[in-house]
Chain A
Amino acid sequence: MRRGFTLLALATALLLSFALYEALIAAPTEQTMGDVQRIFYYHVPSAWTAFVLFLINFVSSIVYLIRRNPKADILALVSAEVGVVFCTVVIVTGPIWARPVWGIWWAPGDIRLTTTLVLWLIYISYLILRRMSTGGRTPVIAAVVAIFGALDVPLVYFSIWFFRTQHPSPVIGGGGSLDPRMAHVLLINWAAFLCLAWLLSWVRCELEVATRRVDEAQALESLRESSR
């Protein structure tokens, strides 16, 4: 287990370094936007990674509602939290890219931007619910919230197909064309971010399992003290 974690950490560090080199140096410079377009190699893979994590959260929540398996509950919580981290990267890097390209930090009312912000807020609410609520029904309520929250993911992705928006079309399946060298660098960065997400989720899972053990032990300790 420890060896697997060390190997994953090493592979992630190597892949992230290589992906950074590819994004900043090896990838061709885009003709219209220039070097600032290289934000794309962090912005888009972060969004895709967040979507994958929210999908895991969705599936785990359904599994938890059906089987009441605590492992599914832990996976749901962890995937939502790490997903929020990646979604935060998207929310932060988007405006930094928009400012030099569009001339504004944020396009109010833009469907892609608004649905992404709503998605982030939904999962922030989910995490607040999990943190603040202490009742035994919390995982069930959280699972229901997660299932409804996940409905926003396809809305975010497909919004630019159905509505006029300032945001560019999707790079895959959106009818746009991407230089094969850029697509190659994009996929390397996505692989690196997926590995990072896996690593962070692993650490977060271990933490959650340990926290639950400590909580149980503390509850037993206080029971013992009260019965004396």
Chain B
Amino acid sequence: MNSMHYLYAAYIATWLIHGSYLTILVRKYARVRREMERLRK
């Protein structure tokens, strides 16, 4: 594997980690909002 592959792997891994975390937060937030709506009714 040439060194550029390691460079791309590191950058992609960084964005995958941040992207996954943000996706988890957004999904949880949507679930909590739905629960709030249900409790309001």
Tell me, yes or no, whether A93 is within 8 Å of chain B by CB.
yes
- Cα A196 to Cα B25 with chains together (Å): 14
- Cα A200 to Cα B39 with chains together (Å): 27
Interface size on B, residues (CB 8 A): 23
Interface flags, A187-228, vs B, CB<8A=1, else 0: 000000000100010011011001101100110010000000
A202 CB, min distance to chain B CBs, angstroms: 10
Do most interface residues of chain A lie in helix, strand or loop, or is the interface mixed?
Answer: helix
**With a CB–CB cut-off of 8 A, which chain A residues contact B18?**
85, 89, 196, 200
| Contact of A35 with B4 at beta-carbon distance under 8 Å, contacts A46-B14, A93-B13 already known | yes
A-B contact pairs, 8 of them (CB 8 A): A36-B3, A36-B7, A89-B14, A96-B10, A99-B6, A100-B1, A207-B29, A214-B32
Binding site for A on B (CB under 8 A): 1, 3-4, 6-7, 9-11, 13-14, 17-18, 21-22, 25-26, 28-29, 32-33, 35-36, 39
Query: When A and B form their complex, which 4 residue pairs have the shortest distance between CB atoms, in order from nearest?
Result: A36-B3, A39-B10, A96-B10, A93-B10
